[in-house]
Structure 1
Amino acid sequence: MNIGIYIYDEAEVLDFSGPFEVFSTAARVSGTADIFSVFLVSETGSIVTARGNYKVQPHYGFLNHPSIDVLIIVGGVHTKELEKQQVLSWIKEQSKNAQLVASVCTGVFLLAEAQVLSSQKVTTHWEDIPDLRTSYPNLEVIDNQRWVDEDEVITSGGISAGIDMSLHLVSKICSPELAEKTAKQMDYKWTKNT
Structure 2
Amino acid sequence: MRNVGILVFDGFDLMDVAGPYEVFLTASRLSERDGGAPLYSITMIAPDGADVSAYGGLGVTGLTSAADAGAVDVLVVPGIIDLATGRADRVLAAAVRTLSDEATLVTSVCTGAFFLADAGLLTGKSATTHWEDVPDLAELATVGEAVPGMRWVDAEDVVTSGGLISGMHMALHVVARQHGDELASRTARQIDLDWSPRPER
TM above 0.5, yes or no, is yes
- The equivalent residue for 2:184 is 179
| Matched residue SS, 2:79 | coil
Q: Give runs of aligned pairs for residues 3-152 of structure 1, distance below 5 A.
A: 3-31=4-32, 32=36, 34-77=38-81, 78-136=83-141, 138-152=143-157
State the TM-score, normalizing by the size of structure 2. Answer: 0.90
| Structure 2, gaps ≥5 residues long | none
Task: Find the aligned partners of 1:25 and 1:137 in 2 and give their Cα distance.
Answer: 35
Q: Label 1:174 to 1:9 Cα distance change in 2 as closer, same or farther (>3 A).
A: same
Give the counterpart letter for 1:187 in structure 2. Answer: D
Q: Are the equivalent residues in 2 in contact too, given 1:71–1:100 (CA < 8 A)? A: yes
Deviation (angstroms), 1:90: 2.7
- The equivalent residue for 2:158 is 153
Does residue 189 of structure 1 match 2:194? Answer: yes
Q: Cα RMSD between the aligned structures?
A: 1.6
Give the counterpart letter for 1:28 in structure 2. Answer: R
Q: Are the equivalent residues in 1 in contact too, given 2:67–2:98 (CA < 8 A)? A: no
| Matched residue SS, 1:53 | coil
Q: Are the equivalent residues in 1 in contact too, given 2:122–2:142 (CA < 8 A)? A: no
> Which moves more between the two structures, 102-111 or 127-136?
127-136
Task: Find the aligned partners of 1:6 and 1:120 in 2 and give their Cα distance.
Answer: 22
State the TM-score, normalizing by the size of structure 1. Answer: 0.93
Deviation (angstroms), 1:53: 1.1
Task: Find the aligned partners of 1:101 and 1:138 in 2 and give their Cα distance.
Answer: 15
Deviation (angstroms), 1:46: 2.1
Task: Find the aligned partners of 1:76 and 1:136 in 2 and give their Cα distance.
Answer: 21
Q: Label 1:97 to 1:65 Cα distance change in 2 as closer, same or farther (>3 A).
A: closer
Q: Are the equivalent residues in 2 in contact too, given 1:3–1:38 (CA < 8 A)? A: yes
What is the number of equivalent residue pairs in this alignment?
A: 194
> Which moves more between the two structures, 69-78 or 143-152?
69-78
| Structure 1, gaps ≥5 residues long | none
Deviation (angstroms), 1:124: 0.3
Task: Find the aligned partners of 2:28 and 2:61 in 1 and give their Cα distance.
Answer: 22
